[in-house]
Amino acid sequence: MYKRNFVQLIHFLEADLAIPTNNLLLALRHTEHTPNLLPMILWQYGFVTISELDQIFDWLIS
């Protein structure tokens, strides 16, 4: 994932899905080497619902 897209993804997660920054930071610690797994890590930790995960994937492909 390109750095610019990654920053935009983080903004989308915070602004549109209202994921708290602390939750994102925790998930990001687990994706240092594989940032493209961030949506799955967020879901695995229960920070997003399956519906929100679908929204994230829709955002990523748009």
pLDDT at 3: 72
pTM of this structure: 0.85
pLDDT at 50: 97
> What is the crossing angle of helices 3-15 and 21-29, to 10°?
140
Low-confidence residues of the chain, pLDDT below 70?
1-2
CB-based contact 50:43 (threshold 8 Å): yes
pLDDT at 16: 96
pLDDT at 2: 58
How many structural domains compose the chain? 1
Give the range of the structural domain holding residue 39, as residue numbers without chain letter.
3-61
Buried b (16+ CB within 10 A) or exposed e, 15-37: eebebeeebbeebeeeeeeeeee
CB-based contact 19:47 (threshold 8 Å): yes
